Amino acid sequence: MRNVGNLIPPATAEGASTGDLAEAGAIEYAVWVLKVANIVVCGHS
């Protein structure tokens, strides 16, 4: 999933997305449907 600035909005303590649901949907699809075992979060400064 790519978006402007590669930003993923934070989640609430319950795990609910606080921003655009496209990111949450992409991650959920990857984990539940595609059975992705590892998610790597990379950043830069």
Q: What is the pLDDT along the chain (45 residues), one digit of tens a residue?
A: 666 666 777 788 887 878 777 777 888 889 999 999 998 877 666
Tell me what pLDDT residue 1 has: 65
Q: Token pair for residue 6?
A: 């590669």
CB 30 within 8 A of CB 36: yes
Domain count, the chain: 1
Tell me what pLDDT residue 37 has: 95
Tell me what pLDDT residue 23 has: 78
Q: State how far the Cα of 27 lies from the Cα of 20, in Å rounded to an integer.
A: 12
Q: Which pTM was predicted?
A: 0.59
Domain limits for position 34: 1-45
Tell me what pLDDT residue 34 has: 95
